[in-house]
C-alpha cells in the first residue's frame, strides 16, 4: 500500500513531478502543432511585436487576454532571466473571466530569431511554445510550434483542435497587422 512518499512511486510517476528546468525534455509531450506565416515586416519588427504583452494580447484578442504585473510589462525583455519564472499570467476570456494561468518561463531567448517558453499552466502540466522568426525575401517567416502535457486526461484531438484554432487566430491577426500570407504547417495530432 502506498503512503504517498516518493519512494513508493514508480520512476515514471516521479519523472512527471519533477520541475521543469533548463534543457528538460519531457517524453510525454504531445504535438507538435505548427503554425507558420510569411509576414511583410523585417525579423526585427516581428520580434518587437511578438515579445511585448501588447503584441501578444493583440494576437489573442478580442477573445483572450493575458495579464502581467506592471513592472514586467514595462521592463519587457529586460525582465527575462532564461530558465526562471517571469510571472504568473492569467488568461482571461473576453478580458475579464480567468480561464487558465501560465507561469511564464522562457528557456531560451535569441533576439530577433526566436524564443522557447516551457511553462506549467493550470490546464497543462507542461506547455512548450517555440517561436522562430527567419528572414525571407520579402520580410520574414514566423513559426509557432506547440507541445504540451495535460494535467487531466483530455483527448489529444480536443486539445490539439483548441491549439490549432488559437494559433490559427493569432497568425490571422499577425497577418492582418503585418501583411503576409499563411504557409503550409505540418502538425501532428
Each residue of 109-155: pLDDT tens digit? 999 999 999 999 999 999 999 999 999 999 999 999 999 999 988 88
What are the extents of the domains in the chain?
27-183
Phi, psi of 128 (to 5 degrees): -120, 120
In the beta sheet, which residues pair with residue 128?
Answer: 118, 147
User: What fold is seen in the domain 27-183?
Assistant: Alpha-D-Glucose-1,6-Bisphosphate; Chain A, domain 4 (3.30.530)
User: Cβ(37)–Cβ(175) under 8 Å?
Assistant: yes
Residue 168 has pLDDT above 60, yes or no: yes
In 3D space, the residue among 45, 39, 57 whose CA is nearest the CA of residue 111 turns out to be 45
Amino acid at each position: 500500500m502506498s503512503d504517498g512518499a516518493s519512494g513508493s512511486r514508480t520512476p515514471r510517476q516521479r519523472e512527471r513531478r519533477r520541475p521543469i528546468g533548463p534543457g528538460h525534455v519531457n517524453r510525454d509531450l504531445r504535438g507538435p502543432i505548427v503554425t507558420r506565416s510569411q509576414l511583410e515586416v523585417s525579423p526585427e519588427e516581428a520580434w518587437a511585436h511578438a515579445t511585448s504583452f501588447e503584441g501578444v494580447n493583440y494576437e489573442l484578442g478580442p477573445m483572450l487576454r493575458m495579464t502581467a504585473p506592471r513592472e514586467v510589462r514595462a521592463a519587457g525583455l529586460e525582465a527575462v532571466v532564461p530558465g526562471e519564472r517571469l510571472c504568473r499570467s492569467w488568461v482571461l476570456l473576453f478580458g475579464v473571466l480567468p480561464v487558465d494561468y501560465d507561469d511564464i518561463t522562457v528557456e531560451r531567448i535569441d533576439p530577433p530569431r526566436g524564443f522557447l517558453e516551457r511553462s506549467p499552466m493550470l490546464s497543462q502540466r507542461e506547455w512548450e511554445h517555440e517561436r522562430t522568426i527567419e528572414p525571407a525575401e520579402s520580410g520574414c517567416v514566423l513559426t509557432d510550434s506547440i507541445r504540451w502535457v495535460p494535467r487531466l486526461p483530455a483527448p489529444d484531438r480536443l486539445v490539439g483542435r483548441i491549439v490549432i484554432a488559437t494559433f490559427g487566430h493569432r497568425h490571422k491577426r499577425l497577418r492582418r497587422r503585418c501583411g503576409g500570407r499563411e504557409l503550409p504547417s505540418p502538425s501532428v495530432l
